[in-house]
Amino acid sequence: MAERTESNQTAPAERQPSRGRPRDAERDRALLAATLQVLQESGYGGLTTAAVAKRAGVSTATLYRRWRSKEDLVVGTAVSWASDLGPQPDTGSLRGDLAVLLRDKAETLEGPGGRLLHILIGEAAHNEALARVLDSAIVQPVRDRAAEVVRRAVARGDIPPLENAHVLADLVVGSMVSRLFLTPDVTYQGATDGPTSGEAAIGELLPFLLRALGAPPG
């Protein structure tokens, strides 16, 4: 009985192999990885569903059973990529919590998803679906985590309650985008050390963000 429960927890898919679900999930992952690769090579304009299907080793019919259109596929890739960002751990201090949030954002923008974000911003000016996924995939998770950081800091008595606490998310996302996307050396195919890297940016930004939230910077 104990063994059966353990098996149930670790490999539920094996116990319920109905209708090929695990293979679907594998195909989904392959399609999303292929989409990211083709986007990086060809941009949004150059991406075709045929190229993605070929890269993922599936037929275009299989791709279209899962995603209605090229746009739908790219939106799905962005949402899937963003869901890997994870929750906000409680480090016990506002400084620690902010450092984790900034570091996660820097890693996101410096990693393979950074190229995806470049492309999404480029297309967002004339594509409403891609404009909307920018918010849901990029800003909203940071907004949720930033709200949690502020809530804990207020509860600890580290800072007074804030009006418009959501502004913290704009400061975190925006300053990282400014440093990592709009400044040379990191903007172009990513140096990840040097004075414009994410790690350097975190050290410089932290005192400003702490003061902005009403906490002593030191």
Dist. CA 97–CA 95, nearest whole Å: 6
Rounded CA-CA distance 57/28 in Å is 11
CA gap 114, 133 in Å, rounded: 14
> Smallest gap, in angstroms, from Cβ of residue 198 to a second copy?
12
Quick one: 27 or 97, whose CB is closer to a second copy? 97
Task: Supply the minimum distance, in Å, between the C-beta of residue 26 and a second copy.
Answer: 29
Residues 6 or more apart whose CB falls under 8 angstroms from that of 144 comprise 88
19, 15, 13: which is closest to 4 by C-alpha? 15
Q: How far is the CB of 90 from a second copy (least distance, A)?
A: 23
Minimal distance, residue 16 CB to a second copy, in Å: 38
Cβ atoms of residues 201 and 181 within 8 Å: no
**What CA–CA distance (Å, rounded) separates 5 from 80?**
30
CA-to-CA distance for 210 and 176, rounded, in angstroms? 16
Smallest gap, in angstroms, from Cβ of residue 67 to a second copy? 21
Per the rule left: phi > 0, alpha: psi between -120 and 50, beta: everything else, 164 is left
Given the rule CB under 8 A, which residues bind a second copy?
40, 43-46, 114-115, 118-119, 121-128, 131-132, 134-135, 138-139, 163-164, 167-171, 173-179, 181-184, 187-189, 201, 204-205, 207-209, 211-214
| Residue number with CB closer to a second copy (42 or 62) | 42
Q: Which is nearer to a second copy, 27 or 52 (CB)?
A: 52
In the complex with a second copy, the residue whose CB is nearer, 76 or 122, is: 122
- Residue closer to a second copy by CB (options 44, 64) is 44
